[in-house]
């Protein structure tokens, strides 16, 4: 006869309950992180819905803690779930890559090549004359999707590796104009621009 596994009250209190509390905290803290991000993005319909489930799960977890105050393992599970949930929430948000960003590029070099590339790729770019500590400079402003930030930063470094740039969140954009599906044309233009830049450098 095969042995039958029996879940005792002590095993439930020391093993199963802490695991449930740990997992509940991961879920509710992850939801809390996403809710705060969605609020900052102005998503007023989704944020309350997430907040409802966040608080509901938190009440279930804290209720079990209050009923088992003598079990120190629950406290470890609660704190560990909070820390892990924070990490998971930020990881999920980074994968979603939601929202828009303003990229500000400050350079002493002529940014015409960079501006031409951005505009040909569908982005709006504005150039402003500025005066820095080292003399006259140019400021290039453009609004990009967050998911495209890595590609835009790579483009900036290709055109001018020494350019200074900053990135800020944008809550909303009026009459936003973002590139569509132009990847093949963009890659072709990008290679041509890089080839032209290398030719100019060799000619110096």
37-70 pLDDT, tens per residue?
Answer: 888 777 778 888 999 999 998 888 888 888 877 8
The mean-pLDDT minimum among 15-24, 73-82, 168-177 falls in 168-177
Q: Tens digits of per-residue pLDDT, 181-202?
A: 444 445 545 555 555 555 555 5
DSSP 8-state secondary structure symbol assigned to residue 111: T
Q: Tens digits of per-residue pLDDT, 109-161?
A: 888 888 888 888 888 888 999 887 778 888 999 888 888 888 888 888 888 88
Longest CA–CA span in the chain (Å) reads: 88
With residue 190 as reference, give the H or E element that holds it.
Answer: helix 183-203
Query: Which pLDDT score, from 0 to 100, does residue 146 have?
Result: 83
DSSP helix/strand/coil, 16: helix
- Give me the residues paired with residue 100 across strands: 145, 170
Contact 113, 192 (CB under 8 A): no
Q: Count other C-beta atoms under 10 Å from residue 128's C-beta.
A: 11
What distances in angstroms separate CA 155 from CA 93, 199, 203, one per listed residue?
24, 18, 23
Distance, in Å, from the CA atom of 15 to the CA atom of 31, rounded to the nearest integer, reads: 25
Q: Tens digits of per-residue pLDDT, 7-23?
A: 677 777 778 888 989 99
DSSP 8-state secondary structure symbol assigned to residue 171: S
- pLDDT category of residue 177 using cuts at 50, 70 and 90: low
For residue 201, give both structure tokens.
């450098």
Query: Which pLDDT score, from 0 to 100, does residue 83 have?
Result: 93
Supply φ then ψ for residue 48, to 5 degrees.
-60, -35
Positions of E strands within 9-150? 100-107, 125-132, 135-145
Query: Which pLDDT score, from 0 to 100, does residue 185 have?
Result: 42
């Amino acid at each position: 006869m095969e042995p039958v596994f029996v879940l005792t009250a002590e095993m439930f209190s020391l093993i199963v309950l802490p695991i449930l509390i740990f997992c509940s905290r991961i879920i509710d803290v992850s939801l809390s992180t996403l809710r705060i991000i969605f609020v900052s993005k102005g998503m007023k319909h989704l944020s309350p819905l997430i907040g409802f489930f966040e608080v509901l799960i938190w009440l279930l977890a804290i209720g079990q803690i209050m009923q088992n105050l003598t079990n120190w393992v629950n406290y470890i599970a609660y704190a560990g779930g909070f820390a892990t949930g924070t990490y998971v929430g930020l990881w999920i948000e980074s994968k979603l890559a939601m929202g828009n960003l303003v990229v500000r590029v400050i350079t002493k070099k002529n940014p015409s090549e960079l501006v031409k590339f951005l505009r040909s790729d569908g982005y709006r770019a504005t150039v402003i004359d500025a005066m820095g500590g080292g003399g006259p400079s140019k400021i290039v402003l453009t609004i990009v999707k967050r998911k495209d930030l890595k590609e835009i930063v790579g483009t900036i470094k290709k055109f001018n590796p020494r350019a200074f740039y900053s990135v800020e969140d944008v809550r909303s954009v009026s009459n936003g104009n973002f590139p569509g599906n132009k990847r093949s044309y963009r890659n072709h233009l990008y290679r041509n621009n890089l080839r032209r830049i290398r030719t100019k450098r060799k000619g110096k």
